[in-house]
Amino acid sequence: MTTATASLESLRVLHHSDDYIVVDKHWDIRIDSKMWYEKHTVQAQLLHRFPQLADPSTYYGFRFCHQLDFSTSGALCVALNKAAAGRAYRCFKDRSVTKAYLALVRGRVEEETQTLDFPIGKNSSEGKTHMMCTEGTEGCENPKPCQTELTVLEYGLYDGDSVTKVLLQPVTGRTHQLRVHCSAIGHPIVGDFTYSSGADAAPYRMMLHAHLLHIPLDPEPLQVCAGDPFLPATDPKWLPQRSLRTLAATVEALLERRVEEGRKIKEERRERARREEERRTRRREQRIEEESEEQRAQCQEWLREWAGD
């Protein structure tokens, strides 16, 4: 990842199998577009690099398993067939996918680990209908529960201003969730023009990057890391000053926690299934017992009638 703008040839592939391609989406490119003037999209890059893999039965030629904002870079998964898309969709639907984003945010985030828990809804205010907002703010429509786990990695300066490098894990998946949550705690993402009311326009990009994508596919999970673009070698304006924890160790701990959570969920599902099977068995046994009792009573009635004859 560099400060150079995107081109058709600049597609970076992180993973390629018969079922999936994972690319490192550039920071100034849309995933797809219906507009004729949008020449540079991930869709166009894929068609340029892999024309033989395009599926003409789909609108865009490729099945994107999830979304990234125009100004967000990082790991983006594309399914290469309908069955693979269905498997990935089920994982996203039941929230078993693990995603983690790197971000530079304005100011010094004092609380090193925290859960951002702000319901998010559509902003209906005039001139802001393209934005989301937190519950309780003016114009917020239909807010829904929304959680993000935040972990501080480093403190430093960006172009002389105090910033914090953080790892963000979205527990839910709302539109603009990470951007709105960071803004809600007073630490907007560096370069986020929209959620700084147009004030943060100097950086060359918004500093939000999809670093980790883990999809628990069966039998083999798909796990990809899209590197760290927020390094002084890439952008000299970013000057780290104090490191609290490494990115690798933080991601490893996150994945271990998710594996444990997944194990517990599976155990709970098995236990629920066992209890349900026991209930069904008891109901069957009860029906059989009731039927046997009814049959005995009917048999005795027949015997009495026969004896009477």
Beta-sheet pairing, 73-79 with 63-64: antiparallel
Q: What are phi and psi of 95, to 5 degrees?
A: 60, 35
Tokens of 5: 């703008």
Residues near 106 by Cβ (< 8 Å), separated by ≥ 6?
Answer: 161, 162, 163, 187, 188, 189, 190, 200
Bridge partners of residue 166, in order along the sequence: 103, 152
Tell me if residue 10 falls in helix, strand or coil: helix
Instruction: Indicate which residue of 19, 55, 69, 117 is catalytic.
Output: 69
CA 83 to chain centroid, in Å, comes to: 20
Active-site residue flag, 24 = no
Q: 3-state SS string over 257-269?
A: HHHHHHHHHHHHH
Asked if 226 contacts 247 with a C-beta cutoff of 8 angstroms, the reply is: no
Omega before residue 219 within 30° of 0, cis: yes
* Catalytic site positions: 69
